[in-house]
Every structure is written in structure tokens, then in C-alpha cells.
Amino acid sequence: MVFCNKKSIPEEDRAPASHILLLSFVSTLTGAYSGSTISNYLYGVRAWHILHGVPWQVEKPEMEVMLKAAEKVTPPSSRRKKQHLYTIKFITTIRQQLDLSKPLDTSVFACLTTCFFRTGHVGEFTVPRLESFDAETHVSRAGVSHDQTREGQKVTMLHIPCTKTAHQGEDACWAKQDGLADPKAALSHHLEVNNPSFQGHLFAYRHKNGHWPLTKSKFIGVLAKAARAAGGIPRSNQF
């Protein structure tokens, strides 16, 4: 709609979108955005047509040609380096570079294993800033409980009060794992070392005479330092 408004496209010519209109739309974005972003935008317009029962007049081969051309001129600034994958082996390597007698390292490792086996976002288990912890938004120690699956497997439940997709909150869970990357052992050790308050941030760590909630920047910083100490394993900015 923004594109059509700027180009003064008449309302009756916007939907169904013609091949020429879509080609113009893609051409306008080309060189400013990455090919994958442009693809998402184009398929978003297609999804809108399908959702509203409006005929989609562009065949898939035509779309692929347009998107291939856009990909060829993707600006270097829009390309991101490939990131190192988080695997159990990588987590174990990271663990060897952490001092699990230290409050911060213990908190980071517990958060790392929780994020990995829950397949969750770091933002769900950390806070943006030290002063931004909110018990109605962020996971707390009080939100930890235990349950079991229909097959009888014991699982640990972590209640997240609010997420981007579930404003009413949702429960994250993981089960005990074999090996050094076990999230159950990591969380238990963290609670023993740091002993965060029940209403405080779950991954808060001891600092001076109190506790500091684990921020995302601190979490990533500790992991990056451990990765470098392990021999230059590429740092991952995304999790």
C-alpha cells in the first residue's frame, strides 16, 4: 500500500496486482534490500491475494525470474555472514571455557542449555537491560515447575508470562539429557550457586551484595569470550 500510494496507483489497479505492477514493486526494492527480504515481501502480497480471494495473476516461473534478478544485485550491507551453529558439541566446548564456580558463568550456561533444549529465543530468558526486569513479562524462579509427558517422562516447566506471540504467556519445557549439556544439571547448579529470589529473574546471578538479572548483551558477551578462548570458534550473533 505504501508503494502504491507513493506511485499514485489507482485503487482499482492495486488488486488484483498485475505483472507490471509487481515488477515495478520488486524493481523499486532491488538494490536496497536483500533478495530474501524482497522475496518475503512479494510472497506476502501473494498471501494477501489468496487470503482475500483475489486472483493472483503472476505465475511462479515469472516470480522466480523477478526474485532471481533482485538477488543478483543484493547490496553487500544486506548480506550477513554465516553464523556458527549451536550444537551439543559446541555447547560442551563452551562449557570447558567457563568457570562454573562463578555466578555469571553459571547463570549463562544454565540459560544457554535452557534456550537450546527448549528451542527458544534468548530474549525469552534474558532481559534487555539491568533495570528492565518485570515479573509480569520475564521468566522468574517462581515460574519453575515439574510435570511429566503421557509417556511418563519427567520434564521441567518454565512459565514465560508474556511472549511476542502469546501475550497471555506460555510454558517452555525440557527434559533431562545425557552428557555435560544437560539443562537440568545446569539449572540445578545455577540455583545452588546463585540462589535467585522466587519473584526475581530466573537467571539472575550474584553480584556484590545482591543479584543482577541476566541481560542479553551480557549473555552473548560471555559466550563470545568463551568461544574465542576455545580457539577462535566463530562468534554467533544470532541464537
Please give the model's pTM, rounded to 2 decimal places. Answer: 0.66
pLDDT digit string, tens, across residues 208-237: 999 999 999 999 999 999 988 987 554 444
Higher-pLDDT residue of 76, 235: 76
Tell me the C-alpha distance between 77 and 33, whole Å.
Answer: 9
The overall average pLDDT reported for the chain is: 87
- CA-based nearest residue to 14, from 41, 48, 43: 48
| Residue 217 Cα distances to 32, 105, 126, 214, angstroms | 29, 14, 9, 9
DSSP bridge pairs for 211: 206
The confidence score (pLDDT) of residue 73 equals: 64
Tell me the C-alpha distance between 104 and 203, whole Å.
Answer: 9
Average pLDDT over residues 57-65: 78
Mean pLDDT lowest for which of 43-47, 70-74, 220-224, 231-235?
231-235
The confidence score (pLDDT) of residue 62 equals: 74
**Phi, psi (degrees; rounded to nearest 5) at 145:** -145, 180
pLDDT band at 81 (very low <50, low <70, confident <90, very high): low
Average pLDDT over residues 160-175: 83
